[in-house]
Chain A
């Protein structure tokens, strides 16, 4: 049983209504199907699929990511195959594959990933860029940074520059980026399915603290993004303070909200806790365990 505290339950009811909240909480108990993203720096989806299916795994394509598969059947751990060790794939949730595809970085571009560790999305960006151009990755946490390094090496990246730094450091360098990903540090409610203990840890203080960091980082993103450049903002949490309200803040800085290119999901909230938000914000999308069968997830595509 997942143990939600009264604060969280009440918030879910405010956001989704009684029935919706109940469905969300029930869906959180369901195990999530594992998924992987093929590392196209080293192999192709066809080749990897054949190799893993020969070993007794059953893979099913993920509609929004041509390099992504759900692992429907496995004879042993998907994290212990030779193909994993030689960097042919990254174990990644299906929603986590969306941000890099939406940002759609091109070979030769200069791209910034402001919260990069452990590198699920940074390695995806590099693969989409065909290991050319430059992806700059920053993260503040040393332990996670070591994991990022290990992943970058396992997957064979050659076009990255990484900093163990608060991402506001980007303002201190002279670079201006074509595209930026801010997969923001957040209170992580959407991950409760993977880690049930997370449910107890959600509280107001955490939400407020996260949204403070998110605002700071969005502001940095605006400063170091070139004019006409794009920012993808994503979180794995439900709190509107970390999602819709951050987008509203981004709009106040001068960002425009763009429609998503590759996924549908559920429209973001137009009304949160009695506050009416601009229509544009509903171009951002949410994914819910009880409606989409995925982790909880929020994504917006913004243009400067």
Chain B
């Protein structure tokens, strides 16, 4: 696989822009040049070694997400955003956590706390331990639609 170096601007972000810029500071972004445009985040140290290896790399650094029509944040990159974001978080209780990790949407009764968030925006989902669990979309009703969640690691079949 081949990769090209890109910048945060190339991601044409519509959401979490500030957070993503912050996380990417002093790092190198690599985009796969093929039918799938996956993006990886590398430290400068790692990039130096990567440059010496170049060809045939299967994967390197931290998987940020994929550029489709828009940039799609990966499950794990959401965790990086949760480390810097202070405005788009929703906390859910134990029961909500279980449901969410099964891939389900969250009823508003499971929400224990939230930042001031506009409807139909992507939000970071956290449990009572402040662990990041995935991404959702806050609906007008107060329910949260599941976008991605870490239960994926169990559901994926091999």
Contact = CB atoms under 8 A, between A and B. Distances in A.
Given A110-B49, A147-B158, A175-B52, A160 B127 contact: no
B64 to A, nearest CB: 11
A152 to B, nearest CB: 7
A153 B158 contact: no
Chain A interface bracket (under 10, 10 to 19, 20 to 34, 35 or more): 35 or more
Contacts of A160: 59-61
A254 B50 CA distance: 29
11 contacts: A85-B101, A85-B133, A85-B153, A86-B133, A110-B49, A134-B45, A143-B158, A162-B57, A162-B58, A162-B60, A173-B53
Nearest to A110: B49
B61 A145 contact: no
B46 A153 contact: no
Contacts of B25: none
Which among B50, B52, B60 has the greatest number of chain A C-beta atoms within 10 A?
B60
B63 interface: yes
B57 A163 contact: yes
B43 to A, nearest CB: 7
A161 interface: yes
B158 A146 contact: yes
A79 B154 contact: yes
A136 B133 CA distance: 29
A46 interface: no
Nearest to A133: B45
A157 B61 CA distance: 7
Interface string B136-158: 00000000000000110110101
Interface string B41-74: 1110110011011001111111100000000001
A87 to B, nearest CB: 8
Interface in B102-158: 127, 129, 131-133, 150-151, 153-154, 156, 158
Nearest to B150: A85
Which among A110, A161, A163 has the greatest number of chain B C-beta atoms within 10 A?
A161
A152 B56 contact: no
Given A146-B158, A152-B59, A173 B150 contact: no
A134 B129 CA distance: 31
Interface of B: 41-43, 45-46, 49-50, 52-53, 56-63, 74-76, 79, 97, 101, 127, 129, 131-133, 150-151, 153-154, 156, 158
Contacts, number: 87
Contact of A161 (B53, B62, B76, B156): B53
Contacts of B57: 161-163
B127 A153 contact: no
A149 B45 contact: no
A154 B43 CA distance: 19
Contacts of B42: 158
Which 7 pairs across A and B sit closest by C-beta, in order of nearness? A85-B150, A161-B60, A134-B49, A162-B58, A164-B58, A158-B62, A162-B59
Given A110-B49, A161-B50, A175-B49, A156 B79 contact: yes
Given A143-B158, A159-B43, A82 B60 contact: no
A132 B45 contact: yes
Contact of A80 (B58, B59, B131, B154): B154
